[in-house]
Structure 1
Amino acid sequence: MDLFAGPGGLDVAAEKLGVATVGVEWDPAACTTRRAAGLATIQGDVRDYGPADFPDADVLAGGPPCQTFTVAGVGAGRKALDDVLAFIKRMVAREPRAQIDQDLAKMEDERTGLVLQPLRWALEAIDSGKPYKAIVLEQVPAVLPVWQAYAEVLAAEGYATDFGLLKTEAYGVPQTRRRAVFIARKDTQKVELPEATHRAYRKGVERTEGDSRLDPWVTMGDVLQRPYTFLVISNYGTGGDPKLRGRRGSWEPSATVTGKISRNRVVSQSGEELDRFTHSEAGCLQTFPRDYPWSGRDIGQQIGNAVPPRLAMHILSAAFDWEPPSKAALRSLESWTMSEKEATEAQAAEVAAGV
């Protein structure tokens, strides 16, 4: 059960791992993409649904909106965080939902209260006698204090939990991006976030340097089918200065992919203007399949807001207490239309080769 499901990043990973999914998403454009991809989709507001509407779901996942936390620590962000933590205490005390919803409606920005929805779903499932076996949540780093509060609540309900910040390039994503991740599992003593498989990116450091037990980080050039090296000049200015725009070479991972990725310039090393990234290429930097059927409006925003499927594969495997995803499973992300037979053959070949 995927709340705030977006265009399907987490669901792509789950489906490739053999886990059936259904997502709730309010944005019509993201729903158009999901349906083009064949993902089960409910277009609507997660607040209008609950566990009783999906009785067969035994895993809860989601990435609730978090814009109001992006300045956590001062001002509006700090106040939003304090408000949410206070509401969590009321939810744990099982105050009537109607009263909580009424007070949430009074908040200056309704998105602040949306971060509470996964906890509402989890508590309702617990109270119904059918708790979710596993819970997986992710968002920007500023949401980490909320995940800490979630961990305390769910530990008291019999879940093992873990949470922290993960770097996407440390899991083979050709992009530097930090995510606050939370996982919980019922009926176990311990659950842990996935271990890194690749080295973390450091500016000016060769990708071959670092822990020899880990693979080098993946570059833009590794995943994009361009027969030449290039530089990407960010739409954003470093430190807020438009004259100091960030630059990454094709021999490095991409900077964080945002909804404005189409505004990034792509140039040759001599400064010649080159074609900007297509939707397919932007999706590849997020580790979506090359042929993923991006549809509807605001595709750049859909891509920028999505969970990288490759990272999601690692997170889900950890939450389910499975072995890390196999190389065959990760390769299956290269194509959305890979048949079950092709995936089985790839797995068989890998086993035969002793990989």
Structure 2
Amino acid sequence: MSGKKVLIIGATGLVGHAALKHFSTQEDCNVISVSRRTPEQSYGAKHISVDLNNEKQCSEVFGSMNDITHIVYSALYEKPDDLISGWVDQEQIDTNSRMLRNVFEPLERSSKDLKHVTLMQGAKAYGVHVKSIQNPAREGKSEMYEQPNFYWLQEDYIKEKQKGKDWNWTIFRPAVIFGESIGSPMNLLTAFGVYAALLKEEGKPLHFPGGVETILVATDVDLLARAIAWAGESEKAEGEAFNITNGDVFVWSTLWPTLAETLGMEPGEHVPLSLTEEIPKREVEWRHICEKHNLVAPGIKDFVGLSVEFADRYFAYGQREMRYPPLYSDIKLRQAGFHECIDTEEMFIKWLKLFQEKRLLPQN
């Protein structure tokens, strides 16, 4: 068989969408996307709608695929109305573990040319959802396994399945991911975009709604997609877990004037506000903005999802004392051979302008 055939599970999420876009531009590469919802843009890939919780349906669909060479597994189940506390919920842990098994059991039996599997983890691999961690976070720290997490069930499963096989796996642990996705529970761009648009419509400057200043890191989803492609072909990525960040750090106070300028606003003051409490109340105003500016963005609930909760956490809303958020060492990834990086300020400009061009946020 010539070329690659890449199966992207969770194609409407942040990572899945970026992987779909990236692999679909590669020569001699066929792509199949899988999600319950149909992606807004296929990029020429074949799409299959599958409920990953349905074992019978998964068996029928994935059991008929006999030529998959690469799997990008980025599907994620979050509790529908409780993002933060759901991270330690046993139902969520069990569901995410089951979804991977439902995909992989029939797929491995049918696809004899399988070469590589990519799994996604993240900051919760280091227990940041339950405790402060020692910075910088590094791969391979044994104490992280003490925290309940579906990551470990998925990781242990894929390691056990790989024993004695020709295919291999790689795990990525990005920082907070930024990119193009609608309704994602952890895409701060949509929550921030709606918040900014509401202020602008009222003639107000871009106030900072968070708490105490913190040093942060981010991961551009296009950068992550390129790293996933690299891992699928690199011997140095086989059986390894990698942190991945943009390569720099940032603080909101320094970045805020750039965000305001990109949106055609003036930077404002520090005005703490819970986006979780405020944004859902503003549906009428948001619909007015959409009509006035001819936007194609959906209503607030469908557009921002649970990302308002995530935004409050990332902006440190309600925190008055300096905290120590996780910083990541990605030296392991660089030493293995993936050297790409992106300036985080440029990343924010890129995505905000794209949201404007696609009429998801008002133009300046």
**TM-score normalised by length of structure 1:** 0.45
**TM-score normalised by length of structure 2:** 0.44
